[in-house]
Amino acid sequence: MARIIEEQYVWRLPVRIYHWINALSIAVLFVTGIYMAFPIISPPVGEAVWYHRMAWVRYIHFGTAFIFIANFLFRLYWALFGNDRYGRFGGFKPWLPAWWGQPFKEQLASYLFLKKEEPDYCGHNPVAALTHFLFVFLGSWFMILTGLAMYGENNPGGFLDTMFGWVVLLFGSSLTMHTMHHLVAWVFPVYLILHLYAVVRHDIVNRSSITSSIITGYKNRVEECAEYAD
């Protein structure tokens, strides 16, 4: 049996709203993106001019992309300047050797079953922070930069083309850039699996109500109660 000894307010409203907009827009971007690559629904009948199927899918992808970008930039602002103990970059300093020290090693060891204790962090644990950095932070930057460069191609010489055209040069050709945008898109479903598993697992192991915390904002700290010995 466990008893809730403390309710902690961890995820503030802006962070929770960000989380869900992010989750939804990534889902939409992934589905529409894959559809653009594999437009499988059988073609409509009649005059092409009345149909905009592919055009709509692209339109939704681009519209959602701008929501995704705005949301991402907001989160970046919040992480850097927000007065939020758990939602800012704060302690995440992977360029310092110290960051990879005790807490990180312990958390990793615990995940790898090398250690019995399960550390329980209010915010993100160091391994989670690293995972978020690699998948969500870098992954989003990659998708945004390549995405905007591709979007700029629709209007050569326009604003986005001028601002982000250099990205094409990193890949050598537009085709390679498209292919890499497509490949890196898979980072998100992979992350989703790791993420959902880690959340549910923490909920069970630490009983911290981490799952509902992204809706309510509260995490519980629980204490094991002594069993009746009758």
Partner 1 sequence: MEKKETFAEVFEARGVKRRDFLKFCSLMSVYLGLAPTMVPRIVSAMEKKPRIPVIWLHGLECTCCSESFIRSSHPIVADIVLNMISLDYDDTLSAAAGFQLEEIRKKIMKEYKGKFILAVEGNVPLKDNGVYCTINGESFLDVLKETAADAMAVIAWGSCASFGCVQSARPNPTGATPVHKIIKNKPVVNVPGCPPIAEVMTGVITHFLTFGKLPDLDRLKRPKTFYGVRIHDKCERRPYFDAGMFVESFDDDGARKGWCLYKMGCKGPTTYNACSSIKWNEGVSFPIGSGHPCLGCSEPDFWDNGPFYTRRADVSFVGVNSNADKIGVVAVGAAAAGMAAHAIGTAIKKGTSESKTVETEED
29 binds partner 1 (CB under 8 A): no
Q: Which amino acid is at 193?
A: I
The least CB distance from residue 41 to partner 1, in Å, is 7
Q: Are strands 218-224 and 2-9 parallel, antiparallel or unpaired?
A: antiparallel
Q: Is 182 left (phi over 0), alpha (psi -120 to 50) or beta?
A: alpha
212 binds partner 1 (CB under 8 A): no
* Nearest-angstrom CA–CA distance, 29 and 22: 10
Binding site for ligand HEM (CB under 6 A): 26, 29-30, 33-34, 36-37, 58, 61-62, 65, 68-69, 143-144, 147-148, 150-151, 178, 181-182, 185, 188
Q: Which residue, 126 or 147, has its beta carbon nearer to ligand HEM?
A: 147
* Nearest-angstrom CA–CA distance, 62 and 44: 23
What does 176 bind: ligand HEM, partner 1, none (CB cut-off 5 to 8 Å by kind)?
Answer: partner 1
Closest Cα to residue 12, out of 121, 90, 86?
86
Q: Which residues make beta-bridge pairs with 9?
A: 218
Which of 131, 182, 217, 218 lies at the binding interface for partner 1 (CB under 8 A)?
Answer: 182
User: Residue 84, Cα to own-chain centre: how many angstroms?
Assistant: 19
The least CB distance from residue 78 to ligand HEM, in Å, is 19
97 binds partner 1 (CB under 8 A): no
Q: Which residue, 43 or 97, has its beta carbon nearer to ligand HEM?
A: 43
The least CB distance from residue 28 to ligand HEM, in Å, is 9
Tokens 């986005």 sit at which residue? Answer: 160
114 binds partner 1 (CB under 8 A): no
